[in-house]
Structure 1
Amino acid sequence: MLLTGVDSHLAGVPNIPEMIAPEQRAQPNYQGVLGDDVVTVATLLEDAGYNTYMAGKWHMGMEPDKLPSRRGFQRTVAMMDSGADNWEQRPYLPIYDQANWFADGERFTLPDDFYSSRFLVDSMIEFIDSGSQDGEPFFAYLPFMAVHTPVQAPQEFIDRYMGVYDTGWDDLREQRLERAAALGILPADTPMVRMETTDDWDALSEEDRSYQAKRMAVYAGMIEAMDFHIGRLIDHLKQTGQYDNTIFIVTSDNGSEASGPADPRGFPQRLGPANLGYNLDYETLGLKGSFSTIGPSFASASASPLAYYKFYAGEGGMRVPLIISGEPVGPQLRMTRTFAWATDITPTILSLTGVSQPAERYAGRPVQPITGRDLTPVISGASDRAYGPDDWVGYELTDHGVLFQGDYKLVVNQPPIGDGQWRLFNIATDPGETVDLAASEPQRFQRMLANYEQYRRDNKVVPVPEGYSQMRQIVLNALLQSRKTIIAFLLTLVVVVPFYVAYKSARANRALPSD
């Protein structure tokens, strides 16, 4: 959606391919790879005379015609899978035979001194410098691997956060809410729920608390390492005289990741990482050879005061920052709580660069129209909103459904964490999704349900089959597709099943109010 301005279902990626059920894959828009009937913003900018560069995670198709080098990017270095090790060329799940890296359309071997955030910024600096003599502007797409699983960081960045999280996830969740309110990001009286998947910190042993706190320290270190290398890129642009003419757009693809087990050190939880050569030892956590996640408790705290996390449709899984900055958009520092959507990024870039949106046909073929909104009126202060009170935006992922309209959000989260019931929230006043308005505003509720059904029809949404679960489908797809079927199945089983069991053990209700 970010690269095309088109809804994910029509763009060909309604879900990652590893999670698509066979019944859905029968539909042409359910292949999990970027469709041939969408045009990327890189293609449009390249055709307008821009140099176009990409360094980072792709995961939208590995066939020759799906590579980023064939979708508008002139120079590329790309991780093609859902994720990989950040220290070396190693897969992070046994569903992959190898970590698939490509550079400029060809398979690529990583350097021996690889660390993902440093390497990606080094590559981007090299790309920008390679085209700096021709006088053309550049478009740089830098999708970091941080902080995707496995969570890993250099020791010096981890050290900065040792001890910071020793008071646990409930304390962190309260601190994050207070800080967000103090910064004006959220209303000061924002209520929040305590997710049922959050464990009792005080019930843990001292050793367990230390281990959990270090998991979060590695996570924070990985974020700061990414930020440090972004700073290197900015410094390079300043040194080469390009900074004042550069627009920066910073955002994230989802909320925090909770699918790691609550405690990864048990025997079944260790088997999967161990079979891939990883360790989970406290002393080396985050370093080369280690495998770390933060688990559901700290994931919930990271998204404070929001509910749920990645793969679910709660605000904790969907709401992310959006920063648009740079001298060309003006020196003012302004914050807005207005709603914006991933599809808005492409039309905004096109507007800022003066490049036209594609017509019904592009390069001799019909293409899907851009449905996102141009955010430049909001950026300039000419408008307070990109969407009016009657405009709506839908979303669906494995039957988790959402419709945004005005200040309201219609949402359903499926089991094992959700209960499969549609709810209505005012996310302007209640971003923590604590007060269900479905009964008190029945007309709005029914109207938004009807709009969601219209969204499903317009975007060719295919329901998941009965009994579907995301984690189980990963296992089944690995069994069906891998050349080393039995081994891959067993290894995937020992990696994924503990995650699934951790979710399944939670009660099916959505969340419990905080004390």
Structure 2
Amino acid sequence: LKTAGYHTAMSGKWHVSNTNGQKNPKDQMAWLNHHKDFGNFSPLDQYPTNRGFEKYFGNIWGVVDYFDPFSLVSGTTPIKSVPKNYYHTDAINDTAVAYIKSYAKSDKPFFLYVAETAPHWPLMAKPADIAKYKNTYQSGWDAIRKMRYDKMVKLGLIDPATTKLSDRWKDDLSWQNNPHKDYDALAMAVHAAMIDCMDQGIGRIIKALKQSGKLDNTLIIFLSDNGASAENCAAYGPGFDRPDETRDGRKITYSTQTQALPGPETTYSSIGPRWANVANTPYQFWKEESYEGGIHTPMIAFWPKGITAKKGSFNSTTGHVMDFMATFTALTGAKYPVVYKGRAILPTTGISLIPTFGGKQSRGHADLFNEHFGARYARLNDWKLVSRSNDTTWHLFNLAEDRTETTDLKSKYPQKVQQLDSLWHHWAVTHQVFPKPGNKGK
């Protein structure tokens, strides 16, 4: 985008560089606790400002203490302390506001990537935001799932004829018999508070664009990178990217037995699989799995001067994050390189999303594939072959009739399973899924 005359900036989570961990576990823990300093958090040539962004503020690593994040930098300079009452989501969004105000003074257009950490675990939020949701989730898993499903149907986001509400994960335990329901309701309240704070910040970003006169001709795209996470982060305990003390020496509790309430800096906890299943209503499973609950996420586009589709309308085109490159280069006139710094660049396989801005419905990608932590899928038009991360057994679904993947058709259509399996293996070999690292030649 710089070649098309754009300013470029990023605020938020990077998490795509090699991490400079310490060989001695005690040193690593001291670093995470802000008690020792070991310099750069990854090779500097992998920092955002050496990967195309003029400006950057955020965390180089992934997991963060929201009140005092590890691996915080401005450009390539480590930020070694944060002010009292610091909260990372606010800092990410307020930095984005500052970038907008700065770039608004320039004649050049700008590209801004805001990578929110929220609501990734650990569950940490400001008390005032948590208080808004203290009663919201006390009705439990089934009631919330049903309410969300009915709302989606009413809004026209899903068709109940083809998108049934899948069975709740491990529904043998009812909310009434859940011995930890008060704790679980609070966990989800903190999760909601984290999203609320993010939403407030996005409001400030939109306000800055409006005040600078840039809102109407700015394309804003908002999306999630995956479905909600089922991880039990407390079970991980301290290590690698998880501290055991705060900067001022307070012990951090990894709340494996609900012994410490979620929300403050001194507790590491997460929403777990049952609430993740609720968060991904109406689909099954979650982040790390290749079922729709893990990979099917919403995207919102806003651009008053450029989008002619009816305001608030819904487009069912199958899109993918790879499509942003094709979309942005087409909009800006930037040229996707054939060669960069002497290296041949593979052509992008993305498809421009611009036709959807005009209200056109299209199939989008005819075929899509993935592999993540062993989970995988192959999709050809409406057919989808999928397996879980801990089980290589393929399952076949027709998404045109069964968006929530409730009816396995592999026995009925064995030839379709063979076809998609062959396509997946071809893709896996040509896209470096195989050989796995450390298994060269296998």
- TM-score for both structures, normalised by structure 1: 0.73
Separation (CA, whole Å) in 1 of partners of 2:434 and 2:228: 26
1:364 equivalent in alignment to 2:342: yes
User: Which secondary structure state, in structure 1, belongs to the residue aligned with residue 129 of structure 2?
Assistant: helix
1:160-309 alignment, distance < 5 Å: 160-189=132-161, 190-191=163-164, 192-196=166-170, 199-205=173-179, 208-260=180-232, 275-276=244-245, 277-279=251-253, 285-309=262-286
User: Which secondary structure state, in structure 1, belongs to the residue aligned with residue 176 of structure 2?
Assistant: helix
Q: 1:410 aligns with which of 372, 385, 409?
A: 385
Separation (CA, whole Å) in 2 of partners of 1:143 and 1:326: 20
Give the residue type in structure 2 aligned to 1:213: A
Aligned to 1:469: none
Give the residue type in structure 1 aligned to 2:427: Y
1:26-65 alignment, distance < 5 Å: 45-61=1-17, 62-65=42-45
1:325-344 alignment, distance < 5 Å: 325-331=302-308, 332-333=310-311, 334-344=313-323
Aligned to 1:4: none
1:78 equivalent in alignment to 2:58: yes
Give the residue type in structure 2 aligned to 1:59: H
**Per-residue deviation, 1:443:** 2.6
Asked if the contact 1:198–1:296 (Cα under 8 Å) also holds between the matched residues in 2, the reply is no
Separation (CA, whole Å) in 2 of partners of 1:436 and 1:375: 31
Aligned to 1:485: none
**Per-residue deviation, 1:464:** 5.7
| Identity score, percent | 30
1:243-271 CA distance string (max 9 Å, x none): 1111001111111011116xx6xxx7878
Asked if the contact 1:399–1:463 (Cα under 8 Å) also holds between the matched residues in 2, the reply is no
User: Which secondary structure state, in structure 2, belongs to the residue aligned with residue 60 of structure 1?
Assistant: coil
User: Which secondary structure state, in structure 2, belongs to the residue aligned with residue 439 of structure 1?
Assistant: coil
1:279-299 CA distance string (max 9 Å, x none): 458886313333331111111
Separation (CA, whole Å) in 2 of partners of 1:183 and 1:442: 37
Aligned to 1:140: 112
Aligned to 1:455: 427
- TM-score for both structures, normalised by structure 2: 0.84
User: Which secondary structure state, in structure 2, belongs to the residue aligned with residue 232 of structure 1?
Assistant: helix
User: Which secondary structure state, in structure 2, belongs to the residue aligned with residue 393 of structure 1?
Assistant: strand
Separation (CA, whole Å) in 2 of partners of 1:137 and 1:175: 42
Asked if the contact 2:93–2:201 (Cα under 8 Å) also holds between the matched residues in 1, the reply is yes
Q: Any stretches of 5+ residues in structure 1 without a counterpart?
A: 1-44, 90-98, 467-515
Give the residue type in structure 2 aligned to 1:336: N
Asked if the contact 2:323–2:351 (Cα under 8 Å) also holds between the matched residues in 1, the reply is yes
1:386-433 CA distance string (max 9 Å, x none): 23xxx3111011221111221221111132xxx321011122332211
Alignment RMSD (CA, Å): 2.3
1:184-212 CA distance string (max 9 Å, x none): 2221233313323874322223xx21111
User: Which secondary structure state, in structure 1, belongs to the residue aligned with residue 368 of structure 2?
Assistant: strand
1:9-51 CA distance string (max 9 Å, x none): xxxxxxxxxxxxxxxxxxxxxxxxxxxxxxxxxxxx1122111
**Per-residue deviation, 1:84:** 0.6
Aligned to 2:82: 111
Asked if the contact 1:424–1:436 (Cα under 8 Å) also holds between the matched residues in 2, the reply is yes
**Per-residue deviation, 1:137:** 0.5
1:354 equivalent in alignment to 2:354: no
Asked if the contact 2:148–2:281 (Cα under 8 Å) also holds between the matched residues in 1, the reply is yes
Separation (CA, whole Å) in 2 of partners of 1:435 and 1:353: 44
**Normalized per residue, which structure has more helix?**
1
**Per-residue deviation, 1:183:** 1.6
Closer, same or farther: CA 198–105 of 1 in aligned 2, 3 Å: farther
**Per-residue deviation, 1:320:** 0.7
1:99-141 CA distance string (max 9 Å, x none): 1122112222352132111101111122222233231111000
User: Which secondary structure state, in structure 2, belongs to the residue aligned with residue 194 of structure 1?
Assistant: coil
Separation (CA, whole Å) in 2 of partners of 1:146 and 1:312: 20
Separation (CA, whole Å) in 1 of partners of 2:243 and 2:211: 45
Give the residue type in structure 2 aligned to 1:215: A
Give the residue type in structure 1 aligned to 2:372: L
**Per-residue deviation, 1:346:** 1.5
Asked if the contact 1:378–1:386 (Cα under 8 Å) also holds between the matched residues in 2, the reply is no
Asked if the contact 2:260–2:267 (Cα under 8 Å) also holds between the matched residues in 1, the reply is no
Aligned to 1:380: 358
**Per-residue deviation, 1:436:** 0.8
Give the residue type in structure 2 aligned to 1:380: G
Separation (CA, whole Å) in 1 of partners of 2:76 and 2:218: 27
Q: How many residue pairs end up in the alignment?
A: 399
Give the residue type in structure 2 aligned to 1:398: F
Give the residue type in structure 1 aligned to 2:244: N
Separation (CA, whole Å) in 1 of partners of 2:305 and 2:347: 27
Closer, same or farther: CA 457–283 of 1 in aligned 2, 3 Å: closer
Greater relative CO (CA pairs within 8 A, separation 6+): 1
User: Which secondary structure state, in structure 2, belongs to the residue aligned with residue 76 of structure 1?
Assistant: strand
Closer, same or farther: CA 282–380 of 1 in aligned 2, 3 Å: farther
Q: 2:367 aligns with which of 392, 396, 400?
A: 392
Asked if the contact 2:216–2:303 (Cα under 8 Å) also holds between the matched residues in 1, the reply is yes
Q: Any stretches of 5+ residues in structure 2 without a counterpart?
A: 18-41, 246-250
Separation (CA, whole Å) in 1 of partners of 2:134 and 2:383: 40
User: Which secondary structure state, in structure 2, belongs to the residue aligned with residue 127 of structure 1?
Assistant: helix
Closer, same or farther: CA 291–399 of 1 in aligned 2, 3 Å: closer
Give the residue type in structure 2 aligned to 1:225: C
User: Which secondary structure state, in structure 2, belongs to the residue aligned with residue 243 of structure 1?
Assistant: coil
**Per-residue deviation, 1:274:** 8.7
Aligned to 2:34: none
Separation (CA, whole Å) in 2 of partners of 1:271 and 1:55: 27
Give the residue type in structure 1 aligned to 2:410: A
Q: Which moved more, 1:341-350 or 1:223-232?
A: 341-350
Separation (CA, whole Å) in 2 of partners of 1:132 and 1:440: 59
